[in-house]
Amino acid sequence: MRSATLWSRPVTAVRPAAARTSRPASRTACRTAPTGAPYAEAVIDLAAIAHNTEVLAAHARGALLAVVKADGFGHGAVPVARTALAAGASWLGVTSVREALELRAAGITAPVLSWLHLPDEDFAPALRAGIDLSVSSPEHLAAIAACAERTGVTARVHLKVDTGLRRGGVVPADWPALTVRARDLERAGLLAVRGLWSHLVDADRPGRHTAAQVREFEQAVRCARQAGLRPELRHLANSAACLSAPQTHYELVRAGLGVYGIEPVPGRDHGLRPAMTLRARAATARPVAAGEGVSYGHEYTAPADGTLLLVPVGFADGVPRAAGGRARMWVAGSRRPVAGRIAMDQCVLDAGAAEVGIGEEVLVFGPGDRGEPTAAEWAQWAGTNPHEVLTGIGARVTRRYLPAAARTARPAEQNEHQNRNRNQGNEGERCA
């Protein structure tokens, strides 16, 4: 049973008057937020997206493809796509045809590559919308060609070879026959093989597998050329390789995580800026006494008298439950511990001796400028990667966009297909 002392404390005086300190005006203002203001929001800094795109484009030896799958890593695919294209990207990459068509429906006409499909999918909408499609098996090649024949629209495809990831892509044993078949379908007018590509195993740790994958990829390119294919694009590099492994660049570089401001190479700082800030307003503020347990299972015990804030975001909103017991949030000018388990819709923050109240701004994560945690730190606390943290921020969390500075869109042809003949390889070598 709770002590009578706890419940008798005035709600509006969660700390003794003698212990209070002056409050900055900005924190006071957050208590008086306009009626109807969202209880939680993800603030997306499009200027950061633009900056990161420019950094990546400056490193890339070829054109830059901005990956906007999973609703732009939770940031919003359409605003991110428009910002990235204005800042130097000339291609966009998505997982599904549905994602690609959403970009087209928003009026985006830049080249888009979609790479994860089932062979029984209806590719007709993609062909009519001018979406490039990845081919990962003989079955996919046959299905796309059949759709092209039915619709009368030549399919633009990128053939993906598995160079060691063993996840997606044509297995090496099938590659020679597939490239021959692709050339036959080109001659028939059903396909245009626009690219050859693969996916790196661990480009954030240069030297472990990257060199071997480059050799496998170049052998696959030679094999395709022996079959008569002359694709204009080769692409292998991701964000980490864009910044650290120039030998993987070729004519196109695919950047995902880096666009959103997460440094992809551990221990290196390339000046990228996190674009998402997750913030919430405290739903309740209540006193807690030293030694009292908090939240499910009382796994957290208050170390001292203080104030608990109820933060109205939980694992249904993308705040990782696995981070409970380690996570921190920023409130009233300092990092404070999440008290106990993170629940589906809410979590509790131990604000300690700070004078805080209902409506208090809580920063779950952000760029770190004020000392708040970053998405990368949340990933460490949860034992996952930043991709999962960013893409997990759910639809219940309102998105608000801070505009990028005005930029003049750079035409795709300004930086597309740079150094097209780089690393052409020996076309006379036989397929392996």
Asked whether 126 and 105 are in contact (CB, 8 A), the reply is no
Q: Taking each helix axis from N to C terminus, what angle separates 210-226 and 175-187, rounded to the nearest 10 degrees? A: 40
**Which residue in the block uniquely carries the two structure tokens 């930043």?**
386
State the SS3 of 324-375. CCCCEEEECCEEEEECCCCCCCCEEEEEECCCCCCCCEEEEECCCCCCCCCH
End-to-end Cα, the chain, rounded Å: 75
Parallel, antiparallel, or unpaired for β 132-135 and 293-294? unpaired
Residue 224 sits at φ, ψ, to 5 deg, of -65, -40
Residue 344 among known ligand-binding residues:
yes
DSSP string, 247-269: GG-TTEEEESGGGGT--SSTT--
> What are the beta bridge partners of residue 330?
335, 363
CB 207: neighbour CB atoms within 10 A?
Answer: 9
CB 371: neighbour CB atoms within 10 A?
Answer: 12
State the catalytic residues: 69, 296
How far apart CA 252 and CA 115 sit, in angstroms, is 15
Q: What share of the chain is helix, strand, coil (3-state, %, to 5)?
A: 35, 20, 45
Measured CA distances, 386 to 2, 260, 322, 352, 393 (Å): 40, 10, 14, 28, 11
Asked whether 241 and 226 are in contact (CB, 8 A), the reply is no
Residue 422 among known ligand-binding residues:
no
How far apart CA 379 and CA 361 sit, in angstroms, is 22
Q: Which residues, including other chains, have CB under 8 Å from residue 238's CB and lie 6 or more apart?
A: 199, 200, 203, 253, 254, 255, 256, 257, 264
Residue ranges for the known binding site are 167, 344
Residue ranges for the known binding site for substrate are 167, 344
